A and B are shown apart, each in its own frame.
Chain A
Amino acid sequence: MRVVLAAIAAAWFAAAGATGSIQPGFEDITAKAGVSSAHHNRTFENPYAHIMAGYTALGASASAADYDGDGFDDLFVTDSSVDGRNHLYHNNGNLTFTDVAAQAGIDSGNDRANASADSLWFDFDNDGRPDLLVVRFGQNELYRNLGGGRFENVTKAAGLERYLNAITAVAFDYDHDGFVDLFVGAYFQPVNLFNPQTPRFFPESFETANNGGGVLAFHNNGNGTFTDVTEKIGLKTSGWTLDLGHADANNDGWDDLYVACDFGTDRFFVNNGNGTFSDITEKAIGIDTKKGMNVDWGDFDNDGLLDIYVTNITDDYMKEGNFLWKNNGNLTFTDVSRETNTYDTGWGWGAKFFDYDNDGWLDLYVTNGWVSAGSESYVPDVFEMIIKPGIDLADARNWPPMGTKSLSGYQKKRLFHNERGQAFTDQAPKYGVDSIRDGRGIAIADFDNDGRLDMFVANANGQPFLYHNTMPGGGHWAEFALRGVKSNALGVGAQVRVTAGGGTQLRFVDGGNGFAGQSSMRLHVGLGGAATIDKVEVRWPSGVKQTLTGVPVDRLTKIVEDSSR
């Protein structure tokens, strides 16, 4: 099986390599859309500044949601410099955007004690309006969406005022009480990064570090407050969390959790269905020593089971390889990244499944690159440190300065086209989306509601990209916006199975999966040549199941949970 897949992958890869000039498919409209404000890395003024700036070259994130309910997905984009302003790009409906963050009161995500790292739209109060969590090195901020383009900082009232050094967050209803709960991944321990009182706050190991910030779980009490239930529900960890991804791995109706960790083992937690999780890492994915960066779930092979894509580091000096975890259906996964040609994407960061050409198979866009600076490489410096006998890696003073050196920089992004679930071919050069900027987060959304998914890519210390999908000759499609009644209002966790053209595709509403990027909560299905949909089956987090027939193609359909069942 593996040999056959590898041969197929190699053949397709060779064929793809034969293509030449850029073809129509994605148009860079960043500037004319008005979303070209650059991200700036944080710089530090402390004894560890020589390494901190390079080490925290993060924080370029983008999150898509229709915050004002006007039918067009908007964008929240973070900066990280001390005086950098975050952006709320309101979608004007004509592929232009207006930054309204200042008017909305949510632009001030950075100061001397906090640096924005990520953001998350989630409707914690079930009013149907996405609220906003700004994830920060420092303290997170929760903004309640009041409607009319106004937001209110409710961090303290919600019980979320806490020093965390967070880098990622997802929200889903783990206990099916009808409210989405909040899961935060923290990179560093809760030390003050801007004025550390100890030099020992760096990872103690490159492969088994357990002195990171771990995962924190906040139960939504349904009254505007949250309670830290991390230990109670079995999620206490101490890894260097970089990303979280939730989905129902075994189709039992309860969403499970994948934790991607830098400097050590990723973790897989199965939801026991009783308000607790169990760590089944060893059985599910085995113990790895890699640098997990990204978690995205999607059924790439259309077998009705959600698979997982995790990026790691692959370069001349370190060949970890990514994971494409094929779901075996029994809470175990098999890595098929080599066979599918998704193994090597350089120093990987955010990656997202989406069907860019509406052929009915989930494709994959992958960002990469750590620090693109001068011509000298930082690699020999860091390895010289590593091989020193007895080196205390946790001590930031032992880390060599990066200066203007590069580390896995200038790497080309990958747009993997899914070849019917068997392999992927890189089409990024073909469509001109192979930028060498230091990519971080990806937000996928159909910003112009034309049925073709667009991409916003946030780059560290650089301008982002908004790629408008202009793919010619695409297939039919369908999009769905879900509204929960018994379930949480935005339907996070709901699974939708669309049967058309002799096949069934599975999509689900995710609550912010993917490193530094949140895609639209609307579900998109490419239908290829199928001009009709046989049926749409929805399984809500509440357990309610609905089957719809006569659903039209080539348009957005709103589905409201049937609360009578």
Chain B
Amino acid sequence: MNQRGRAIVAAAIMVVAQAVGAQTAGRAFRPVIATMAFPADDADLGRLEAALTSAPDDLKAGNDYRMAVIQAKAYDRAIAFFQKLVTANPAAANAHLNYGFAYVDKIPDAGAITQVILANNALGEFTKSIEIKPSWIGLYTRGNSYLFWPRIFNRTHLGIDDLNEALKMQKAVPKQPYHVRVYIALGDGYWKIDDLTAAANTWREGLAQFPGNAQLQARLSRQGDDLKTLIEAGYDPAKRVDTSLADLWTRR
């Protein structure tokens, strides 16, 4: 694998919101902080912050920290920490990614209007990460994030663009299990703009690449309101989006 390929695969390991099923993510997540008092206390968070300060672009360290933050419900602390981290390390693309996730992690605990502000802030950080270092993970993350916005904000097409870019990237490297997520999300994006043919074609292509995938099968087997219910349930801002990345490098 060439350097670019390795970079893409490495980045892809840190998949985003929804990239991992909650159940498997939970299993993978526990060993990461198994040595830590549970839930994380102030000292634990301090140690993780120190580790991240010394390696700001370390995705795993950033992920471990955010998972501890979720347990401690210390969302504002994490946002403040990442803000300092990216200010001190403006070229750390992965720090920006984790900063964006820190906003996403707070969304379920926020009111409806604050959710919009947090989601918008997250998009800003994902964009900075992509601008610094275009990556599959960055594009998938931002593309998927756009799909959470109601149609009235006219952001779905931006998500489709990002997801198509992510699809191109993943086709250029060895197939990974998590690549299926791009097919799911991209199809959902087409569905959101009422291009049902493109949606179905995308899901079918994904199913050809990942036979037996339950989410793709479910989408292709439903129509009308049934399909709407299925898709919209996946983009409910009131539900916590699983932003744990640990499962992916555990698989690796």
Contacts and interface: CB of A to CB of B under 8 A. Distances in A.
Interface of A: 206-207, 288-290, 313, 316-320, 377, 379-380, 383, 386-387
Given A319-B238, A379-B152, A380-B153, A290 B112 contact: yes
Contacts of B151: 316
B83 to A, nearest CB: 12
Interface in B7-22: none
Interface stretch (B43-51, B72-80, B97-105, B113-121): B113-121
Nearest to B112: A318
Interface of B: 110-114, 116-117, 120, 150-154, 236-238
A318 B151 CA distance: 12
16 contacts: A207-B111, A207-B113, A289-B112, A289-B113, A290-B111, A290-B112, A313-B112, A316-B150, A317-B116, A319-B236, A320-B111, A379-B152, A379-B153, A383-B116, A386-B117, A387-B117
Contact of A380 (B114, B152, B237): B152
Contacts of B114: 206-207, 289
Contacts of B154: 380
A386 B117 CA distance: 7
Contacts of A379: 152-153
Dominant secondary structure at the B interface: helix
Contacts of B238: 319
Contacts of B237: 319
Contacts of A380: 152-154
What 8 pairs across the A-B complex have the smallest Cβ distances? Answer: A289-B111, A206-B113, A207-B111, A316-B150, A318-B112, A387-B120, A317-B150, A320-B112
B111 A317 contact: no
B112 A387 contact: no
Nearest to A264: B111
Given A207-B114, A288-B111, A318-B113, 18 more contacts: A206-B113, A207-B111, A289-B110, A289-B113, A290-B112, A313-B112, A316-B150, A317-B150, A319-B112, A319-B238, A320-B111, A380-B153, A380-B154, A383-B116, A383-B153, A386-B117, A387-B117, A387-B120
Nearest to A313: B112
Contacts of B110: 289
Contacts of B112: 207, 289-290, 313, 318-320
Nearest to B115: A318
A316 B113 contact: no
A186 to B, nearest CB: 22
Point out which of B113, B116, B238 has the most chain A C-beta atoms below 10 A from its C-beta.
Answer: B113
A289 B114 CA distance: 9
Nearest to B117: A387
Given A206-B113, A207-B113, A289-B111, A317 B152 contact: yes
A106 B152 CA distance: 45
A386 to B, nearest CB: 6
Nearest to B149: A317
Contacts of B113: 206-207, 289, 318, 386
A45 B80 CA distance: 44
B5 to A, nearest CB: 37
B152 A377 contact: yes
Contacts of A206: 111, 113-114
Contacts of A289: 110-114
A265 B122 CA distance: 26
A206 B111 CA distance: 9
B142 to A, nearest CB: 16
B111 to A, nearest CB: 3
B111 A316 contact: no
Nearest to B121: A387
B152 A316 contact: yes
A380 B237 CA distance: 18
A288 B111 CA distance: 8
A519 to B, nearest CB: 30
Contacts of A288: 111
Contacts of A316: 150-152
Contacts of A313: 112
B244 to A, nearest CB: 24
Nearest to B151: A316
A406 to B, nearest CB: 11
A387 B155 CA distance: 15
A150 B62 CA distance: 74
Nearest to A317: B150
Interface centre among B111, B151, B152, B153 (most CB of A within 10 A): B111
Nearest to B119: A387
Contacts of B120: 387
B200 to A, nearest CB: 23
Chain A CB count within 10 A is highest, among B112, B117, B153, for B112
A42 to B, nearest CB: 26
A204 to B, nearest CB: 12
A318 B112 CA distance: 6
Contacts of B117: 386-387
A316 B236 CA distance: 10
B107 to A, nearest CB: 12
Contacts of A377: 152
A288 B109 CA distance: 11
A377 B112 CA distance: 18
A123 B125 CA distance: 60
